[in-house]
Amino acid sequence: MNVYDFTAMRGNGQEVLLKEYEGKVLIIVNTASKCGFTPQYADLEKLNREYANQGLEILGFPCNQFAEQEPAENHEIQNFCQVNFGVTFPIFAKTDVRGAKAHPLFSYLSEAAPFQGWDLNNPKGNALQTFLKEKFPQYLNGNSIKWNFTKFLVDRSGHVVKRFEPYIQPLDMVDEIKKLL
């Protein structure tokens, strides 16, 4: 099994076979427009512009499961991403990424790259751990996605290589991305 075995819905309602991205290095990320990590859109777009011609593709999946930080409709999300961050990579329809209604792609990603814990020496990692422990302790259980902007790096064969938790900045992924390009 790999990511090419799944389909996903684009923001315009069109269903896409992820097999369409076969042969590409992928970053699959759950996003939100009203999150403290939302500025990561800018660096994701930088990665897109820098490495797309070498085979990198970024797939954004808005999600409203984390403190309702993505309340907008799909067309509004698309507009927000383009206007505020110049996003040119695909933004899919709002998607559940954890729990009983999680999209099968995200269930697969979470099991293929299990949660490895937080880097508590990283101030943002420590802050996110503390926040979740206080406000959403149930999110800390298991391998499911813990918060917005969890990033999965996928090789050209559709296999998950690594999971990057929300506090890891997209540009900090460059060395791992270059290994796969």
| Start-to-end CA span in the chain (Å) | 21
Instruction: Give me the DSSP letters along 113-131.
Output: S------TTSHHHHHHHHH
Q: Strands (DSSP E) along the chain, which ranges?
A: 7-9, 15-17, 25-31, 56-62, 151-154, 160-164
Three-state DSSP class for residue 67: coil
Q: Show Cβ contacts of residue 77 under 8 Å, excluding neighbours closer than 6 positions.
A: 11, 33, 62, 70, 91, 94
Half-sphere exposure of 153 (CA within 13 A, CB side): 22
Three-state DSSP class for residue 138: helix
Which residues belong to the active site? 35
Q: Cβ–Cβ contacts within 10 Å for residue 100, how many?
A: 5
